[in-house]
A and B are shown apart, each in its own frame.
Chain A
Amino acid sequence: MAHQTHSYDVLIIGAGGAGLRAAIEAANAGVTVGLICKSLLGKAHTVMAEGGMAAAMAHNDDRDSWRVHFADTMRGGQYVNNWRMAELHAKEAPDRVRELEGWGAVFDRTKDGRINQRNFGGHRYPRLAHVGDRTGLELIRTLQDHTVYLGVDVHMEHTVIDLVLDNGRAAGVLAYDRANGQFKVFSAKAIILATGGLGRAYRVTSNSWEGTGDGHALAYRAGAELIDMEFIQFHPTGMVWPPSVKGILVTEGVRGEGGVLKNKEGRRFMFDDIPDNYKPQTAADEEEGWRYTQNDKSARRPPELLTRDHVARCINREVKAGRGSPHGGVFLDIAWIKEKLPNAAEHIQRKLPSMYHQFMQLADLDITTTPMEVGPTTHYVMGGIRVDGDTQMSTIPGLFAAGECASGINGANRLGGNSLSDLIVFGKRAGEYAAVWARENGAPRVDEGALAAIERTALDPFTRGEHGENPYKLQQDLQDTMQDLVGIVRLEGEMQTALGRLQEYKARLTRVGVTGGREYHSGWHTALDLRNLLAVSEAITLSAIERKESRGGHFREDYPEKLDQFATFNVMTKQGSGGAVQVSHVPIPPMPPELKQVIEEQKS
Chain B
Amino acid sequence: METQATFKIWRTHPGGDGTFQTFKTTVTEGMVVLDVVHKIQAEQAPDLAVRWNCKAGKCGSCSAEINGNPRLMCMTRMNELDTWEQITVEPMRTFPPIKDLVTDVSWNFRVKKGIKKFKPRPADQPDGTWRVAQRDVDRVQEFRKCIECFLCQDVCHVLREHNKHDEFIGPRFLVYAANLEMNPIDSDDRIPDLKEQHGIGYCNITKCCTKVCPEHIHITDNAIIPLKERVVSRYYDPVTRILRMFK
Contacts and interface: CB of A to CB of B under 8 A. Distances in A.
A471 B112 contact: no
B137 A148 contact: no
Given A104-B183, A114-B131, A137-B58, A209 B52 contact: yes
B141 A131 contact: yes
A347 to B, nearest CB: 14
A517 interface: yes
Contacts of B35: 244
A243 B30 contact: yes
B118 interface: yes
Interface string A538-582: 000000000000000000000000000000000000000000000
B228 interface: no
A515 B47 contact: yes
A149 B57 CA distance: 27
A244 B32 contact: yes
Interface in A214-256: 241-245, 248-249
Nearest to A210: B53
Nearest to B48: A522
B75 A362 contact: yes
A523 interface: yes
A473 to B, nearest CB: 8
Interface in B180-196: 180, 183, 185-186
A238 to B, nearest CB: 11
A42 interface: yes
Contact of A519 (B98, B120, B133, B140): B98
Contacts, number: 171
A47 B149 CA distance: 13
A244 B28 CA distance: 8
B30 A241 contact: yes
A137 B145 contact: yes
A43 B118 contact: no
A361 B57 contact: yes
A113 B58 CA distance: 28
Interface in B136-191: 137, 140-141, 144-145, 147-148, 180, 183, 185-186
A363 B30 contact: yes
Interface residues of A, number: 64
Interface residues of B, number: 60
A519 B131 contact: no
Contacts of A439: none
Interface string B86-122: 0000000000001110101110010011000110100
Contacts of A101: 120, 129-130, 185
A362 B102 contact: no
A586 interface: no
Nearest to B58: A48
B56 interface: yes
B49 interface: yes
B98 A39 contact: no
Given A43-B61, A109-B137, A523-B47, A208 B186 contact: no
Contacts of A102: 120, 123, 128, 185
Interface in B23-82: 28-32, 35, 41-42, 46-61, 75, 77
A248 B47 CA distance: 26
Given A109-B133, A209-B52, A523-B47, 8 more contacts: A39-B59, A48-B56, A98-B129, A104-B180, A137-B145, A208-B55, A244-B28, A521-B47
25 contacts: A39-B53, A40-B61, A102-B123, A134-B145, A137-B58, A137-B147, A141-B144, A145-B118, A148-B109, A148-B113, A208-B55, A209-B52, A242-B29, A244-B32, A245-B30, A358-B56, A362-B32, A363-B30, A472-B42, A516-B46, A517-B14, A519-B49, A521-B47, A522-B50, A523-B46
Interface of B: 14, 28-32, 35, 41-42, 46-61, 75, 77, 98-100, 102, 104-106, 109, 112-113, 117-118, 120, 123, 127-134, 137, 140-141, 144-145, 147-148, 180, 183, 185-186
